[in-house]
Chain A
Amino acid sequence: MAETLLDIKNIESFYGPIMAIRGVSLKVEKGQVVTVLGANGAGKSTLLKTISGIMDPEKGQVVFDGREIQGMEPHKVVSQGIVHVPEGREVFPLLTVDENLSLGAYTRSDKAEVEKDRQMVFEYFPILAERRNQEAGTLSGGQQQMLAIGRGLMLRPKIMLLDEPSLGLSPLLVQEIFAILKRLNKDEGVTMMLVEQNAKVALELADVGYVMEVGRIVMDDTADRLMESEDIKSFYLGHQEEGARGERRWKRKKTWR
């Protein structure tokens, strides 16, 4: 299983003069779920955008399945088998659920297989089957998120880049969606790179985690070990250390070890 699917080496990306990613390297192996944690503005979404070709890096390489793909046009990246499920879902609101799913398979020509995949999506997300003729804009936030994931699956991707699938969803829905993601990974073998603010669910799902801060990776380890790290506990999992007083306002300093 140790086949490296995605290998990012020393990526630097800029928004105008501002360096958003300062030399990030990471690896995703086939069949793995890798999560990237970090606060707002750490550069997580930028990293995904750089992989999917929406942004071009100034320096560094993105090697996917043995090919360098940095700087490639997004549609070519998609045809390599990389699907980006964007932050905020971005479904086509005036098209129906079915049409949205069809757009996910736009680059494919194997009609019969596409229909199989559609059935698979409906299996995983029965609610989408129920609403298949409804306009996507009329779905609830959770359903839209399911649709966005389903649309991504329609490509039969080698890797899915998921940008904050938990955004704006109720805790129950988050649990539900992550349970489905887990099944997709286990049963269908979908490789995933998951950017999240909700560290708990992300680490429970993922095999490996990276922590980003202001454009750099400050820590990386297996998800289990990350969950045990004092820094992760107090900064990402919201554990409060016992202080000498009842309430404690200050936080320990981050050391990332």
Chain B
Amino acid sequence: MNVHTNADQIEINGVIVSATPGQRPALVDGCDTVVGLFQKRCEQLGDRTAHREKDFGIWQSYSWKDYWTHAKWIGLGLRALGLERGEVVSILSEDRKEWLYADMGIQCVGGIASGVYTTDSASQLEYLLRDSGSRFLFVENDEQLDKFLEIEEQADQIEKVIILDPDGLHDLRHEKCVFLDELYDTGKAFDAENHGFFEDEIAKAKPEDTGLLIYTSGTTGAPKGAMLSQENVIAGCVSGAHALPTHDDDEQLCFLPLCHILERNVSAYFPIAGKSTVNFAESTETVFDNLQEVSPAHFTAVPRVWEKVYSRVLVLAQEATPIGRLCFKLAVSAGLKRADYLLDRKPVPIWTKINYAIWDFLVLRNLRRMLGMDKMRRGGTGAAPISPDLIRWYWAIGVQLLEGYGMTENAGIASINLPDDNKIGTVGKAVPGFEVRIAEDGEIQTYGLNNFQGYWRNNEKTVETFTDDGWLRTGDVGKVDEDGFVSITGRLKDIIITAGGKNITPAEIESRLKFSHYISDAVVIGDARKYLSCLIMIDQENVEKFAQDLKVPFSDFASLCAAQEVVDLIKKEVDEVNKEFARVEQIKDFRLINVLLTAEDEELTATMKLKRSFVEKKHAGLIEEMY
């Protein structure tokens, strides 16, 4: 890291940020708003590549200038159509460069950008449009457009729908629908008449202006729109610059939904601050291939993705020649030895170092190249608990995987482990400029410039979310150890009180279950019941492999779940977990969810986590069987 200090500003890797994060004003290169910083970056970087996207299978580059002009046309086009400052515009699209063009275009003219998951149903879309009061909606393509058309009458405040991809819609005649190119033309025409309007609007932006609205997944009740200000995002960037160094020639891969604060930060705002290049994955199915092609400098993903990569490597290793298998085993064990020293922050003995260097040269560096992790300085994981053994394995193969923690309400970044300050099993120390404390009831509370402004048109909930002294109630229960590392045990609301009167945080047990390669997610049940039980969603790929290796016959997913060997396998995993808990906290019975859930199902969040309330409702039959 290149660090130069002067007074209250500090230069990190060529970007000047506040030296004491957490104090006002939060500044990145002298800008206190994202839109101001965006303007500055586009002027500075001009023809340099900002984004890459595949077109008919070939990576195409798009410059910062493209970013600027398209965002400008979108912003001006919307204003020409009547958008007012402080109004919400919704975006319903998969990740693509136009998502970010729209995001910045909307914010630059004073609008508020709100993302909608493409997996949301038409009725969910209707709720979000009505709740946010959007008059303008961006939709990706015909499929997403049809969702709007289905609820057109209910969401009648929508004035214009802008379609990004016109394929298959050539004979669409609808007074409310326009194509993106037409919006660009409107923007261009507006620009010709009102020269400098866009820049003036950017200059009007203040740190306290709301820039984005992010709907929380709403595991309980209806989704709520969290308002994040320009300052929140800049403060996130400042913390990010201190904790997660970015170089201006870094490559990144964008594939998680941009509606989610994690990917939004990592692929939209951190690159604006850090000048890195964002590559858009073609689709969620091609992530691993795209990863290999891009070979990013840092890669942030959810635990599910890291687990998938791990399973793939294990399968490959199993199918290798006996010598290949042996080499792989020796290489990983050499890596693990070194990783143990690194993770304990102890100096690595010379022999361990040499041993690792040999295996790195022979095996591990090839493995990393194959995975597209050869240039990776750091991998990030968040949004769900991850198995400590998995992190250790990645360190062993030479990938520094770091767990972090954040939520929409604190701009996605609250605490993170650092490469040289890492404690596995925790989510790291609070990021620079941000404070974390544990309330009496065990709740984690945070304080700092990252804390959001409140919920959109919902003062009641906003008041509930902040303590009297202005700290944010995260709703998570956890601990902070003597060194300041935060660990999370569960959700406050999910605490189960058994019929015996014992308080239990199910998340603690659930995350232990999830660490098993065969279990993808689990929901522990037992509120007002005699004992705990559990609904388990198996990991399709790994359990299928297990069944095949053991010659267990199965045809579809339901028959896989019904196979006695599979039930026994999961039973073994559950028993293993039970050993770590006291008797009352042990799971007495479980059932497998025998339908293969997709993100479209209401039981799952867009990040593929089970939603407790929906699962309990939908699978009530299974639950009753256990009592």
Contacts and interface: CB of A to CB of B under 8 A. Distances in A.
Genuine A/B complex:
yes
B141 interface: yes
Nearest to A219: B556
Interface string A4-36: 000001101000000000111110000000000
Contact of B149 (A60, A219, A244, A256): A244
Residue of B145, B149, B548 with most chain A CB atoms under a 10 A cut-off: B548
Contacts of A217: 555-556
A155 to B, nearest CB: 28
B555 A210 contact: yes
B551 interface: yes
Given A220-B556, A253-B598, A60 B146 contact: no
Given A10-B553, A250-B141, A255-B595, 8 more contacts: A9-B551, A10-B552, A25-B554, A60-B551, A217-B555, A218-B556, A244-B150, A256-B596
Nearest to B119: A253
Contacts of B464: none
Interface in B597-622: 598, 600
9 contacts: A10-B552, A25-B553, A59-B551, A217-B555, A218-B557, A244-B150, A244-B152, A249-B142, A255-B598
B548 A10 contact: yes
Which of B150, B168, B553, B558 has the most C-beta atoms of chain A within 10 angstroms of its own C-beta?
B553
Contacts of A60: 551
Contacts of A238: none
A59 B167 CA distance: 45
Contacts of B559: 220
B555 A245 contact: no
A123 B221 CA distance: 69
A59 B548 CA distance: 9
Given A23-B547, A257-B596, A245 B556 contact: no
A243 interface: yes
Interface string A202-246: 000000001000001111100000000000000000000001110
Contacts of B142: 245, 248-250
B481 interface: no
Interface in B531-580: 544, 547-548, 551-559
Contacts of A12: 548
A245 B149 contact: yes
A253 B547 contact: no
Contacts of A249: 142, 167-168
A256 B553 contact: no
Contacts of A243: 146, 149
Contact of B172 (A9, A220, A245): A245
Q: Which of B167, B556, B559 has the most CB of A within 10 A?
A: B556
Interface of A: 9-10, 12, 22-26, 59-61, 210, 216-220, 243-245, 247-250, 253, 255-257
Nearest to A248: B146
A240 to B, nearest CB: 13
A26 B172 contact: no
Contacts of A9: 551, 553
A255 B596 contact: yes
Nearest to A218: B556
Contact of B595 (A218, A247, A250, A257): A257
Contacts of A26: 555
B441 interface: no
A180 B538 CA distance: 45
A83 to B, nearest CB: 24
B143 interface: yes
A24 B559 CA distance: 12
A154 B172 CA distance: 58
Contacts of B558: 257
A25 B556 CA distance: 9
Contacts of A25: 553-555
**Complex A-B, nearest 5 residue pairs according to Cβ-Cβ distance, in ascending order:** A244-B149, A25-B553, A249-B168, A250-B143, A23-B548
A144 to B, nearest CB: 33
Contacts of A23: 544, 547-548, 554
Contacts of A218: 556-557
Given A25-B554, A218-B556, A250-B141, A244 B146 contact: yes
A147 B86 CA distance: 76
Contacts of A244: 146, 149-150, 152
A74 B551 CA distance: 24
A85 to B, nearest CB: 24
Nearest to B554: A25
A23 B544 CA distance: 8
